[in-house]
Chain A
Amino acid sequence: MFEEKTLEKIKAETQKWEEGTVSKALSRSPERKKVFTSISNIPVERLYTPLDISRLDYSRDLGYPGEYPFTRGVQPTMYRGRFWTMRQYAGFGSARESNERYRYLLEQGQTGLSVAFDLPTQAGYDSDHPLSMGEVGKVGVAIDSIEDMRVLFHQIPLDKVTTSMTINAPASVLLAMYLAIAEEQNVSFDKVGGTVQNDILKEITVRGQYIYPPKPSMRLTVDLIEYCFKNVPKWNTISISGYHIREAGATAAQEMAFTIADGIAYVQACVDRGMEVDSFAPRLSFFFNAFTNVLEEVAKFRAGRRYWARVMKERFGAKNPRSMMMRYHVQTGGVTLTAQQPLNNVVRVALQAYAAALGGCQSLHTNSYDEALCLPTEQAVTVALRTQQVVAEESGAALTIDPLAGSYFVEAMTDRIEAEIDEYIKKIDAMGGTLAAIEQGFIQKEIQNSAYRFQKEIESGDRVYVGINKYTMEEPPPTNLLQIDMAVGEVESAKLANLRSERDESQWKKALDGLREVSQTDQNVLPAVIEAVKARATIGEICDVWRDIYGEYRPKEFV
């Protein structure tokens, strides 16, 4: 971007500044540290100048919003058209309680829903299964059958609201229930919009909600992608997730690198199925974390968008620009929140939301300040939503597109993170691909090492965390925490018993037999899953069919 002559001049002047002005200042008072690093342990220099981005080619590396390589954003007008979707992840207790919370959030100006399911639902167990004991309705809503789903979306029009569902191993079951409810509301499939997470690889590496071994899991993932691009064209068929990778301890660059590695594995699996890359790739979406170091996060998002665009174009031969766009949801960093002095978390979340906006997210969840203590209360949820409304309406982040572009530091950081992503992808390719790298524990160990290093930095005091290792104080125990009714499990079990005695036995059996049959062939399972949920088969019953056929996954632990 700069003439050779200009660069030489700047080089000479920089040297002069360092040897003169800086060294004089340093002799009077040294800097606070010998080496400064970002929270992801990337060394950060005293000053960035054109010299640090001398190889940057504007047209090649940055370009324009809505155009390849999408470094500056995926939409041509970004937030000048409309703000990101404000989508708070919520759900707890019974379907009825969660439905009330959703309608409250929609009344408060939230623009999309994001459903949190309880762990039994995520692991494909009914509420009355022995492994569900104590867990029903705890970290999300308990959904056993289409009956619960109908209550969950009571008075919520599925053609007006888009819904994101954090569901992976049993993603097709919950999608099938959602589509069946849409049908009951007379909403045709082409008007239904939303997302299922459907990202099994990160369940295996970091999140733990797997059911089946990797290969059959990938088959179910691809079935869903294939079914939707033919039948539910506005559905985001997967949300390839770095969020949990970061939560598990990864650095910003590792978060992006391992997410892209997972993305490559999914695209390859779909291509191997015989699908044309431009047929399904426009519906792929991503999900990332945002920590408090605003500039590093912005660089991460920009680097990820550019790298993914190149992967899709060069590696997979995509022709449709939409296939090359990394569209993503952001959630602020749960793991950055402290139980100590919890109100400080409001500030962390605000900075993280600001980073997400400056980085160009498509939708955003802001965490509640009390999440290191309990599931969020209504007051904390409201503050969280207001935080992103302040960022959108008041901060100025939405006025112009990619406002940090051209910052010597942000561009240098973007390049640096992209280089680290590239190094990881090459390493993973050399190991035989993402599944092989996971099998060997490579990805898990890299993440755990970062988590360990971070913990050591905190405990040695090398890295300051406010309220944890500095600026600590005695405080009274927090009050007004959200309590989940322990009786949800019993209520759900009673409902299940009722469902099982009431439903049409022969129709139910026929549907499950049909599912079993198709699951043993190469045909897409989705139509059979939809039939099964309509015949009031439960999530546990459907997942058991696949447990019988595919077996259950038992991971190797790498500690």
Chain B
Amino acid sequence: MAPASKIKIIVAKPGLDGHDRGAKLLARVFAEAGMEVVYTGLRQTPEMIVETALQEDADVVGLSSLSGVHNYFFPKVVQLLKNKGLDDVIVVGGGIIPKEDVEGLEASGVKGIFGPGTPTTEIVDFIKTNARSRN
């Protein structure tokens, strides 16, 4: 794959949650799958995440939450991306997310939700299929 066509993904931890095992692991998996990865670290507000996506010209924003705040944060990131005209940047999320919340999150514009136990290959494939084309 030519460097210009690399998918660029922001891996972000919204809110005060400190559980970053999954986020860090996926950052490494994405990089090994040929993506360009920016890991934001902890305590990101939706505004900070969207600003990073804008600055970095990202194709994908990956959000991780294990403290039960996904219904608050994920749709907010989608909305702010839209406000900035970044409609074609997809948002995916993972963490401790009850199945009954998935429908609502997807309706709000989150492209994919991946719960505990999802093989990382499945997430990589999903992103490669759904990320905007760089050509």
Q: A: which residues have CB within 8 A of B?
A: 119-120, 122-123, 125, 130-135, 138-139, 203, 206-209, 247-249, 335, 338-340, 372-375, 448, 451-452, 455, 459, 467-469, 477-478, 481, 484, 555, 557, 559
Contacts and interface: CB of A to CB of B under 8 A. Distances in A.
Given A135-B69, A340-B117, A208 B15 contact: no
13 contacts: A119-B17, A125-B16, A134-B72, A135-B16, A203-B18, A207-B18, A209-B18, A338-B117, A339-B116, A373-B96, A452-B25, A455-B25, A455-B29
Given A133-B72, A372-B96, A451 B117 contact: no
Contacts of A134: 15, 69, 72-73
Contacts of A484: 68
B108 interface: no
B5 interface: no
B28 A452 contact: yes
| The 5 residue pairs across chains A and B that have the minimum distance between CB atoms | A208-B18, A134-B72, A119-B16, A477-B99, A134-B69
A484 B69 CA distance: 10
Contacts of A559: 24, 27-28, 37, 39
Contacts of B69: 134-135, 138
Given A469-B119, A477-B100, 14 more contacts: A119-B16, A119-B17, A120-B16, A139-B17, A208-B20, A209-B18, A338-B117, A340-B117, A375-B68, A448-B24, A448-B25, A452-B28, A455-B120, A559-B39
Interface string B18-45: 1111001101110000000101011101
A404 B28 CA distance: 40
Contacts of A468: 117
A131 B16 contact: yes
Contacts of A138: 67-69
A555 B41 contact: yes
B121 interface: yes
A167 to B, nearest CB: 13
Contacts of A469: 119
Q: What's the interface size class on B, roughly?
A: 20 to 34
A559 B26 CA distance: 10
Contact of A208 (B19, B116, B119): B19
A91 to B, nearest CB: 13
Given A122-B16, A123-B16, A373-B98, A248 B21 contact: yes
A467 B24 CA distance: 24
B115 interface: yes
A452 B29 CA distance: 9
A247 to B, nearest CB: 7
Contacts of B25: 249, 448, 451-452, 455
A335 B68 CA distance: 16
Contacts of A248: 20-21
A481 B17 contact: no
B16 A557 contact: no
B97 to A, nearest CB: 9
Nearest to B41: A557
Contacts of B72: 133-134
Contact of A338 (B67, B98, B100, B116): B116
B85 to A, nearest CB: 25
Interface string B102-129: 0000000000000111011100000000
Nearest to B42: A208
Nearest to B117: A468
Contacts of A448: 24-25, 28
Among A135, A478, A555, the one with the most B-chain Cβ atoms within 10 Å of its Cβ is A135
Nearest to A139: B67
A375 B73 CA distance: 18
A557 B39 contact: yes
Contacts of B45: 130-131
Contacts of A338: 116-117
Contacts of B27: 559
Contacts of A123: 16, 43
A338 B73 CA distance: 24
A417 B67 CA distance: 33
A282 B100 CA distance: 48
B67 to A, nearest CB: 5
B30 to A, nearest CB: 10
Contacts of B96: 339, 372-374
A133 B21 CA distance: 23
Contacts of B73: 134
B67 A135 contact: yes
Contacts of A555: 41-42
Interface in B66-103: 67-69, 72-73, 96, 98-100
Contacts of B121: 459
Contacts of B68: 138-139, 374-375, 484
A247 B99 contact: no
A209 B24 CA distance: 17
Contacts of B28: 448, 452, 559
A289 to B, nearest CB: 13
Given A134-B73, A247-B21, A481-B100, A459 B67 contact: no
Nearest to B43: A131
A219 B39 CA distance: 31
A101 B6 CA distance: 51
A177 B27 CA distance: 40
A448 B45 CA distance: 25
Nearest to A558: B24
A555 B40 CA distance: 11
A459 B119 contact: yes
Nearest to B16: A119
Among A138, A481, A555, the one with the most B-chain Cβ atoms within 10 Å of its Cβ is A138
A373 B43 CA distance: 23
Contacts of B20: 208, 248
A339 B94 CA distance: 13
